[in-house]
Structure 1
Amino acid sequence: MIKSIFNDKNKNDKNKNDKNKADEQTHFRTCNLCEAMCGIVVKHDGEKVLSIKGDKDDPFSQGYICPKATALQDLHEDPDRLRHPIERTSDGWKKISWDEALDKVAAGIKSVQKKYGKNAFGVYLGNPNVHNLGGMLTIKHLLGSVKTRSRFSATSIDQLPHHIISLHLFGHMLRIPVPDVNRTQHMLIIGGNPLASNGSIMTAANMRQKLKDIKARDGKVVVIDPRRTETADIASEHHFIRPATDVLLLLAMLNEIYAQGYAKKARANNRAADLAPEIERMADFAKGYSAESVASITGIAADEIKRMVKEFCEAESSVCYSRMGVSVQEFGLLSQYLVMIINIVTGRLDEIGGLMFPNPAVNVVQNTGPGYLGKRHSRVSNLPDFNGEYPVVAMADEMLEEGEGQLKGFMCVAGNPVLSTPNGEKLDKAFAELEFMVSFDYYVTETSRHANIILPPVSALERDHYDVTFNGFATHNVAKYSPVLFTKPKDAKHDWQIYLELAERLDKKAPLATKAERKLIQKLGPQFVLDQGLRRGPYYGLTLRKLKKYSHGIDLGPLKPMLPEAIKHKDQQINLNVDFYEADLARVSDVMTSYDDSQILLIGRRHVRSNNSWLHNSHRLTKGKSRCTLMLHPDTAKAHDIKDGKEVKVTSRVGVVTIVAEVTDELMPGVVSIPHGFGHGRKGVKQKIAQSNAGVSVNDLTDDTLIDKLSGNAAVNGVPVTLQAVASAEEDNETTAINDKVVA
């Protein structure tokens, strides 16, 4: 089979590649700025980028790109981007050599650990790590050399529920099925906005067209969200839902599936295991949560819930997909579990047009451990770790709370948690009190400004790329290697070079096998590891050498049924783990009986031109009117005397921000929204464009005590806030004049 893919399907691609070799001013690669894996064509004149456009011959994206792709040039050319290590001194930041920087970082880490213990030094891994080939394949060497259990990452403010559920049901944290969006007839999207995110745990370029295609083939797209998002705008229908009540809706839907008799039609599980006893238990799982009982709290009428269930179950093929809006709330894990159960009991798992397992060329599931939950708990807040990482909501307390095990040193790798994690002001204070800190970063950011030393890697255009992570979530199987475009300067280092050289300094007594592996990667580069992954993958004969011949990538075909082989449990059976999730229903019941619908609830939002905080220094992506506004419904604005374009003071338990109001019926009444990733006005940040569009940080309002207790994941959607209109200077003067007149 693989021979036919190479020799026939991609013959034209190879011919085009040979033709393009004569033109050294054209470069093909995959954009690595988000999950979509869009193919791009970079026209350049030597070391100067002339244009970045979509690659029509890329088998995955077929010419589509979003506006973010142009930021690759902006990031590469940015005068604010660090190009050498810097050290913070009493006279400001000072350039130092790589040897001096790495020696000082190693000495700083060793000093903290010698004085306070190994676990007194913490590590945080940010989201960009998973978009970096060399970093992904070598980060284990850096983490292994630090030898600390105090690890954190962006996972626990994002997709952690997906990992836990996949571990429980399928035996591996990365065995995550994705919607077969290219062939489904009915897609139900809850708390997701794939037109802005380009997918997210569903790697799929050009989601706008894919959703339009569903409707064009007489299918249906249904969106459930507190905001009428860009995705909702093109959907067949949209339903507003009160933030963080998704768990009640999903329980009612599951109840209706059994009540209407659709659970008996389950098909997919027959190939994996006899799940009849556990599936029958799910009928009792949702008992008591009728459509009528949840309608007033969720804001969705009972008849509408019943109709949605009926249409979902009776469609020729259908899939239920949920993302950030569901994951990062108080019942994120239980809600995502219910989404998975709904797909399973209606027979949509491992079915064409349903929820299917990708089959990537580099099988990360095969080459990594399955993961685990709750082997240890955080020192202060007693939250469970997942795969050796504590929840990010525990991070600040671990630095601020005195006692044995208190964090005194820290390493931040490609992250900006001051802006991206709950209660950013508290974390900002915590970083300022550390004895030693190092950041791996392109910029002096809100987080890295606290570092003693910043180690900047090369730009994305100065390194090669292969999507090790996101091919594992792709809605169509492909493989593509992107070579380096610009040769890095001699005095610059790749991420993987920094990791390995620092690991050598920290761990001189490493096992011989580890030392040998490090030396081999230093000599041959991460391409050596990638090649081994391809050779051990499911596509016989695929090597890096062969892949390099196809500059647009190789089409490995649509998703195919993979049960029971996809299951990593020893018995190759799906384990629904009902007891673990059923225990959380008591918490749901408490919320249901004491629900306060008078609260104003805060949610986040994302824009297609933004990707957290790290693209806000791109002039192309920040031009136009400000996107950092407080969206609120006209009724909510009227009730609080708030006018469009005027400032509003927004207060939560942990903080307060002042922001301009954007009055719109995109939001349901009683809900307000602030976008993620802004707040660049802090002193010491050295990003001129970002600072000129500073905005406010929504995470100065999100609460580090508001969590999903079952998983420890942060709950940043559904945060209670109060609103107060801010009088302008003219209004203040007018009021003063009136008061003076009254007094006189």
Structure 2
Amino acid sequence: MAPQHAPRICPLCEATCGLTLTIDGTRVTRARGDRDDVFSRGFICPKGASFGELDADPDRLTAPLVRGEDGTLREAGWEEAFDLVAARLRPMIEAYGPDCVGAVLGNPNVHTMAGQLYPPLLLAALGTRNVFTASTLDQMPKHVSSGLLFGDPFAIPVPDLDHTGHLLLLGANPLESNGSLCTAPDFPGKLKALRARGGTLTVVDPRRTRTARLADRHLAIRPGTDALLLAAVAHVLFEEKLTDLGRLTDLVDGVAEVREATAGFTPEAVASACDLDAGEIRTIARELAAAPTAAVYGRVGSCTVEHGTLTSWLVDVLNILTGNLDRPGGALFPLSATDRPPRKPGPGKGFALGRWTSRVGGHPEAKSELPLAALAEEMETPGEGQIRAVVAVAANPVLSAPDGDRLDRALAGLEFMVSVDPYLNETSRHADVILPPPPPSRSAHFDFAFNGFAVRNQVRYSPAAIPLEEGRPDESEILARLVLAAAGTPGASPEVVDEGVIDRTLATAVADPRSPVHGRDPRELSTHLTGLTGPERRLDLMLRLGPYGAGFAPNAEDAPDESADRESAAPLPPQGLTLARLLAHPHGIDLGPLRPRLPALLKTRSGRIELFPAPLAADLPRLRAALAARPAALVLVGRRHLRSNNSWMHNVPALTGGSNRCTLQIHPADAARLGIEDGVRVRITADGGAVEAPAEITDAVRTGVVSLPHGWGHDRPGTRTTVASARPGVNVNQLLDGSRLDPLSGTAVLNGFPVTLTPLTGDRVPARTAHL
């Protein structure tokens, strides 16, 4: 039988590139870029090229594991595994209350269709307030600042990369990460195109990354001081009368208050703290204001610092003050195919922080989540509301959160734990039940999350490329059955979970006078939904009721092809977008460039952009105090790698080795001062303890800064990750004890924290060749 070919959206990072899979029988033998993909146009990175190897990883679990009476994990059937979950989980909730369960959701959830559709239902079934996700290790500051400014934590503007003339980029290295909260296949190509058309790229980063080497200007800032730099840029804009809000002038409250609040952050005042030249800061402000179009973009390095939320806020403050927010060529709000249709402008419900706090540390919730750094104390501390059970979905906090050793001990002391994970890893090894989803080739894919951050509006769907083995549930069924177990109805069919969502959604839609299906019979409407599975029917419903749909217009399933690239972005034909139409376009449907969406997008109580919200104003004194703080002699930052994504790709041989190594990068001047030679093992010590790694002496990192990558530390017993365990590296987050948090978002400070180094004399490992 000749090999088959199938298009597939890559699920391995936020770029969501289109792939063409070559399939021989039930195995993916090759993955290449899909040149017909409407979004990525054939771009591919090493992660996408390794799709087949990751898909066929022999260490992936193929059946559930359950813990026997002797305490060891053994392979079990699916019915036995779900029976055990039902027998243990719901009785605990009824005995101790819903908060006895901690729900932990990891980063891979946003990379799967099921991981987006079912966790909200699981959390509702559990009823717990103890919800922890990877967001408080990454982007929660951006959600909080967007919620406070725009009333919606998911209203995150992205730079209009294809049209901007000036990009100021902070704490991001998209040539390695492929972008984050800015879904852009071929980010490197877009930056090169910016330069080619005469635009300007300024990169602010303590490391001379691949992205920084491409820039017109690289500012090697002292880590953790991005907010001071941005406040100084805002000060210059006000001082030199360079602000121009343009069409937003009558839509923004709080401009005068921001002017007053930034008055003390002059370039001269912040220069020492940032270790930058005051004149250069003024130049950045002037160039930003003078550019015909410009965008400021900040990511992980600017979020996972002690002033992460203030930094995220100031990014948008600068976009607003220069008139570049919601403007082509500036920073725009995407409109995904499954978003809600634009609402009538006016006041909304707004966004609130701290509606409850964690039991032990008193940490305020943000977006209904508590800091992942607080999970261990909630498990360890006895009393009412103590976490006695954990449900972890695609999460490995032992490696990704601060103080993994403490988490390791706390997880071992739980009464019950269930993990949905394809691997027996550092966290899932503590579970009483492990439910492994199938490989990505056997799963349908739709990017609910990342389409909402895409630099161009488009929609794509990939059915499963290879059928599931007989008797094996897909990820959607696994999570649906977990929802039923949590709800106390384990005997029900998983289909009732999806049908229940459809029924509730249609009931709400027909009761809404603004809905295109207002007044119609929801039961009759549901008969028009297509799709072979519950998730497909739910997707069809969202597309029909979304901004590019036409409700349930006649003949919507037979809509003609209008998918050619439309720079003017003419709307779809009256029949609208449906699943059937999407399936007829396996390489996707282009929905046109991003366009202004204000004021309809705003959900603040005022119906306006609230530029100086009270929680941010209350945090500014902490930033002012940083002006006089004495900087640490040496601080640590993380680093990304093109062939890695957090902790979940180190078991693929093609993605390890080479430059993807766990080394401590240190500047030659610091190495000489501390007596450290290239390749010598170094003990790194901080709040949470110490780790050891070989030194890699390089001027790619500035003085006063060392860099250790995130996601390593695969040396714990009881795991089943052969490749990762052979090259374990060290867990940089073990250097943290969880006490360093951005107070507004609860995000762990993973960058810019002080460390001390001790060379281990006589313990030399050539850093250029060693594999940890």
Check whether TM > 0.5: yes
1:620 is matched with which residue: 654, 675, 687? 654
Corresponding residue of 1:161:
141
8 Å CA contact 2:458, 2:590 repeated in 1: yes
Q: Is 1:351 aligned to residue 327 of structure 2?
A: yes
Pairs within 5 Å for 1:173-212: 173-212=153-192
1:527 is matched with which residue: 536, 542, 554? 536
Q: Is the alpha carbon distance of 1:125 and 1:365 closer, same or farther for their aligned partners in structure 2, counting shifts above 3 Å?
A: farther
Distance 2:764 2:194 in 1: 53
Deviation at 1:560, TM superposition (A): 1.0
Corresponding residue of 2:736:
702
Q: Is 1:320 aligned to residue 296 of structure 2?
A: yes
8 Å CA contact 1:30, 1:38 repeated in 2: yes
Deviation at 1:75, TM superposition (A): 2.3
Post-superposition Cα deviations, 1:296-323, rounded to whole Å, max 9, x if no partner, equal 1101100000011111110111111000
The code of the aligned residue for 2:9 comes to T
Stretch deviating more after TM superposition (336-345 or 518-527): 518-527
Deviation at 1:365, TM superposition (A): 8.4
The code of the aligned residue for 2:738 comes to D
The code of the aligned residue for 2:26 comes to E
Pairs within 5 Å for 1:7-86: 25-86=4-65
Stretch deviating more after TM superposition (359-368 or 109-118): 359-368
8 Å CA contact 2:340, 2:545 repeated in 1: no
Pairs within 5 Å for 1:650-689: 650-689=684-723
8 Å CA contact 1:119, 1:407 repeated in 2: yes
2:388 is matched with which residue: 408, 424, 430? 408
Distance 1:321 1:625 in 2: 27
Q: Is the alpha carbon distance of 1:119 and 1:481 closer, same or farther for their aligned partners in structure 2, counting shifts above 3 Å?
A: same
Deviation at 1:570, TM superposition (A): 6.0
Distance 1:464 1:47 in 2: 16
Corresponding residue of 2:88:
108
Distance 1:91 1:126 in 2: 26
Q: What secondary structure sits across from 2:118 in the alignment?
A: helix
2:66 is matched with which residue: 75, 87, 91? 87
Q: Is the alpha carbon distance of 1:703 and 1:240 closer, same or farther for their aligned partners in structure 2, counting shifts above 3 Å?
A: farther
Q: Is 1:592 aligned to residue 592 of structure 2?
A: no
Deviation at 1:515, TM superposition (A): 8.7
Corresponding residue of 2:751:
717
The code of the aligned residue for 1:526 comes to P
The code of the aligned residue for 2:664 comes to L
Pairs within 5 Å for 1:88-167: 88-89=67-68, 90=70, 92-167=72-147
8 Å CA contact 2:305, 2:752 repeated in 1: yes
Post-superposition Cα deviations, 1:72-112, rounded to whole Å, max 9, x if no partner, equal 21222111100110113337321111111011112221343
1:555 is matched with which residue: 584, 590, 603? 590
Deviation at 1:274, TM superposition (A): 3.7
Distance 2:187 2:740 in 1: 32
Corresponding residue of 1:4:
none
Corresponding residue of 2:265:
289
Deviation at 1:516, TM superposition (A): 4.7
Deviation at 1:520, TM superposition (A): 6.3
8 Å CA contact 1:629, 1:674 repeated in 2: yes
Q: Is the alpha carbon distance of 1:557 and 1:443 closer, same or farther for their aligned partners in structure 2, counting shifts above 3 Å?
A: same
Gapped regions of structure 2 (runs ≥ 5): 503-531, 550-575, 766-772
The code of the aligned residue for 1:190 comes to L
Distance 1:570 1:379 in 2: 30
Pairs within 5 Å for 1:375-390: 375-390=355-370
Distance 1:68 1:680 in 2: 20
2:455 is matched with which residue: 475, 494, 497? 475
Corresponding residue of 2:282:
306
8 Å CA contact 2:269, 2:627 repeated in 1: no
Distance 2:537 2:164 in 1: 38
Distance 1:344 1:694 in 2: 45
Corresponding residue of 1:572:
607
Q: Is 1:430 aligned to residue 410 of structure 2?
A: yes
Q: What secondary structure sits across from 2:741 in the alignment?
A: coil
Q: Is the alpha carbon distance of 1:571 and 1:298 closer, same or farther for their aligned partners in structure 2, counting shifts above 3 Å?
A: closer
Q: How much identity, in percent, do the aligned residues show?
A: 41
Corresponding residue of 1:252:
232
Stretch deviating more after TM superposition (558-567 or 501-510): 501-510
Q: What secondary structure sits across from 1:210 in the alignment?
A: helix
Deviation at 1:372, TM superposition (A): 4.1
Over the aligned positions, Cα root-mean-square deviation in angstroms equals: 2.3
Corresponding residue of 2:464:
484
Distance 1:556 1:728 in 2: 61
Post-superposition Cα deviations, 1:400-429, rounded to whole Å, max 9, x if no partner, equal 122222111111110100000111111111
Deviation at 1:42, TM superposition (A): 0.7
Distance 2:740 2:341 in 1: 32
Distance 1:448 1:651 in 2: 28
Distance 2:615 2:383 in 1: 33
1:360 is matched with which residue: 336, 354, 364? 336
8 Å CA contact 2:150, 2:603 repeated in 1: yes
Q: What secondary structure sits across from 2:15 in the alignment?
A: coil
8 Å CA contact 2:89, 2:485 repeated in 1: no
Distance 1:149 1:677 in 2: 27
Q: Is the alpha carbon distance of 1:702 and 1:71 closer, same or farther for their aligned partners in structure 2, counting shifts above 3 Å?
A: farther
Q: What secondary structure sits across from 1:41 in the alignment?
A: strand
Post-superposition Cα deviations, 1:473-506, rounded to whole Å, max 9, x if no partner, equal 0001111111110111123222221122232233
Distance 2:184 2:390 in 1: 35
Q: What secondary structure sits across from 2:609 in the alignment?
A: coil
8 Å CA contact 1:221, 1:237 repeated in 2: yes
The code of the aligned residue for 2:381 comes to E
Q: What secondary structure sits across from 1:374 in the alignment?
A: coil
Q: Is the alpha carbon distance of 1:577 and 1:108 closer, same or farther for their aligned partners in structure 2, counting shifts above 3 Å?
A: farther
Corresponding residue of 1:19:
none
Deviation at 1:556, TM superposition (A): 0.8
TM-score by length of 2: 0.88
Corresponding residue of 1:736:
none
Q: Is the alpha carbon distance of 1:598 and 1:521 closer, same or farther for their aligned partners in structure 2, counting shifts above 3 Å?
A: closer
8 Å CA contact 2:498, 2:538 repeated in 1: no
Stretch deviating more after TM superposition (24-33 or 667-676): 24-33
Corresponding residue of 2:507:
none
Distance 1:466 1:297 in 2: 44
Deviation at 1:686, TM superposition (A): 0.8
Q: What secondary structure sits across from 2:742 in the alignment?
A: coil
Deviation at 1:566, TM superposition (A): 2.0
Corresponding residue of 1:638:
672
8 Å CA contact 1:31, 1:38 repeated in 2: yes
Deviation at 1:508, TM superposition (A): 4.1
1:341 is matched with which residue: 303, 312, 317? 317
Stretch deviating more after TM superposition (71-80 or 513-522): 513-522
Deviation at 1:139, TM superposition (A): 2.1
Gapped regions of structure 1 (runs ≥ 5): 1-21, 732-744
Distance 2:387 2:432 in 1: 16
Post-superposition Cα deviations, 1:605-657, rounded to whole Å, max 9, x if no partner, equal 11010001111111110133551000111111111111111100001111110
Q: Is the alpha carbon distance of 1:467 and 1:636 closer, same or farther for their aligned partners in structure 2, counting shifts above 3 Å?
A: same
Number of aligned residues: 704
8 Å CA contact 2:73, 2:432 repeated in 1: no
8 Å CA contact 2:713, 2:730 repeated in 1: yes
8 Å CA contact 2:149, 2:613 repeated in 1: no
The code of the aligned residue for 1:339 comes to V
Q: What secondary structure sits across from 2:169 in the alignment?
A: strand
